[in-house]
Every structure is written in C-alpha cells, then in structure tokens.
C-alpha cells in the first residue's frame, strides 16, 4: 500500500469516528440541553403561540436518538396545559401541536415506550373531552385505549382508561367486561366496585323510566 492510499484510508477512518461522535453523542446531548433550556423558559411564555415556539426548538432539533423522549416530555407538559384551561380553542391548539409531533411515532407502531405514548395520548384526549364535551376527543381516547389493550390486555393504564370511556359512552357491555377484568386482577379495588355499582344503578333507573 502506497503512502497516499494510507492517508486516504486514515482520513476516511477519522471522518467515520467523527461522524459517530457527532451523530451518536453530540447531537443527542445537544438536543437534551436545548430541551432543558426550553423548559426553564416556559414560565416566560405569555401565550400559547410563545409556548409552542419555545418547545418547537428542541422538538425540531435533528438527532438520531432522543426525539421520542422529547415528544413524550412535551406531551406531559401539554397534559398540564389542558388541565389548567377551560378554553376549547386553547385545548384544540395544544393537542394539535403535540399530536403533529407524535404522528410519525404512532404511525411507526413500535418502540420500547410505545404503549406509554399511546396511554399519554389517550389520557390527553379523555381530559380534553371532560373539559370541552367535544365527542371527537372521547372518540380519540377510546381508540388509543383500545389500541393499548390490544398491545397489553392486562395493563392497568388501559383497563382503567377504557373503564372510564365506556362509562361515559354508556356502553353497558363494555363496562361490565372491563370491570370484570379489573376486579379479577385487583379484587380489592373499591373505587371500581363503587363506580361499577353506581353505573349499573343508573342503567337500571333509566330502564325503569323508559318503561
């Protein structure tokens, strides 16, 4: 091997090492630093637009890893935003913002924290329904929790989420089935026992009134 060839191969090797360092270490670290900085400045946001623009920086920063974690962290913040407002337009704005970033993650359908992502979106939409009474949010919550149950039929997050959604929908068969599953796994859950009894009592009263 002549000297020029050795120099070329050495240069290529150096570039590969630098690429690994940049894409495998520097970019994820930088993304997390930008996220921390954005979170520290959230309290200075005077509007949802400023809130979005602040968080869009770490969400849009390119990195081979860390995007899913960043989206999930921001989603938990959005849940708090929805909890603190009763304005339907603000709720819609916040949900559309985070779901836009979540879409490619959900469409991919895999990941170590995929079920957690599904649960966050289900919870967010259920909360939005409770705030606005807009059926589109209840329908979305239903779909997310149902998808979660398909992935983990015994996962408590999805069972309890579906139990709440079925009661809101008035789905008698659904409530009975999920309550039975929950109590089979956690027979001492008094909250579910009480909620189930109250639901069935209302169903019975409604049936009597119709007669």
Q: Are 159 and 181 in contact (CB under 8 A)?
A: yes
Best CA proximity match to 176, nearest among 147, 206, 199: 199
Give the per-residue pLDDT at 209: 61
Write down the pTM of the prediction. Answer: 0.83
Q: What is the band of 109 on the pLDDT scale with cuts at 50, 70, 90?
A: confident
1: which 2 tokens?
């091997």
Best CA proximity match to 126, nearest among 155, 158, 102, 149: 158
Mean pLDDT, rounded, for 140-147: 98
Q: What is the band of 13 on the pLDDT scale with cuts at 50, 70, 90?
A: very low
Q: Can you spell out the DSSP letters for the chain?
A: --HHHHHHHHHHHHHHHHHHHIIIIIHHHHHHHHHHHHHHTGGG--SHHHHHHHHHHHHHS--SS-HHHHHHHHHHHHHHHHHT---HHHHHHHHHHHHHHHHHHHHH---TTHHHHHHHHHHHHHHHHHHH--HHHHHHHHHHHHHHHHH-TT-HHHHHHHHHHHHHHT-HHHHHHHHHHHHHH-TT-HHHHHHHHHHHHHHHHHHHHH-
Give the per-residue pLDDT at 210: 62
Does the pLDDT value for residue 71 go beyond 70? Answer: yes
Mean pLDDT, rounded, for 76-97: 94
**For the packed helices 114-132 and 156-169, what is the interaxial angle rounded to 10 degrees?**
30
Does the pLDDT value for residue 20 go beyond 50? Answer: no
Mean pLDDT, rounded, for 126-141: 98
Q: What is the band of 117 on the pLDDT scale with cuts at 50, 70, 90?
A: very high
Give the per-residue pLDDT at 139: 98
Give the per-residue pLDDT at 197: 97
Question: Which stretch, 13-17, 74-78, 203-207, has highest mean pLDDT?
Answer: 74-78
Q: Can you spell out the DSSP letters for 70-113?
A: HHHHHHHHHHHHHHT---HHHHHHHHHHHHHHHHHHHHH---TT
Q: What is the band of 45 on the pLDDT scale with cuts at 50, 70, 90?
A: confident
Residues in the chain: 211
Give the per-residue pLDDT at 211: 56
Does the pLDDT value for residue 1 go beyond 60? Answer: no
Which of 38-52, 71-85, 97-111, 126-140 is the least confident region? Answer: 38-52
Which of 1-15, 129-143, 158-172 is the least confident region? Answer: 1-15
Does the pLDDT value for residue 163 go beyond 80? Answer: yes
Best CA proximity match to 67, nearest among 13, 106, 115, 37: 106
Give 165-177 pLDDT, tens digit per residue: 999 999 999 999 9
- pLDDT > 70: what percent of the chain? 85
């Amino acid at each position: 091997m002549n000297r020029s060839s050795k120099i070329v191969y050495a240069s290529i090797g150096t570039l590969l090492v630098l690429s690994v360092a940049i894409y495998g270490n520097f970019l994820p670290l930088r993304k997390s630093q930008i996220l921390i900085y954005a979170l520290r400045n959230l309290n200075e946001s005077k509007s949802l637009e400023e809130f979005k623009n602040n968080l869009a920086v770490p969400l849009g920063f390119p990195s081979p890893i860390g995007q899913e974690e960043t989206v999930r962290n921001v989603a938990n913040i959005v849940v708090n935003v929805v909890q603190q407002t009763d304005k339907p337009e603000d709720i819609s704005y916040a949900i559309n913002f985070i779901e836009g970033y979540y879409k490619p993650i959900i469409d991919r359908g895999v990941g170590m924290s995929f079920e957690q992502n599904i649960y966050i979106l289900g919870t967010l939409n259920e909360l939005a329904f409770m705030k606005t009474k807009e059926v589109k949010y209840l329908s979305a919550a239903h779909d997310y929790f149902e998808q979660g149950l398909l992935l983990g039929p015994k996962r408590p997050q999805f069972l309890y989420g579906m139990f709440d959604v079925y009661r809101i929908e008035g789905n008698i068969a659904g409530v009975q089935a999920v309550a039975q599953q929950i109590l089979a796994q956690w027979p001492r859950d008094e909250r579910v026992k009480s909620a189930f009894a109250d639901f069935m009592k209302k169903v019975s009263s409604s049936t009597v009134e119709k007669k």
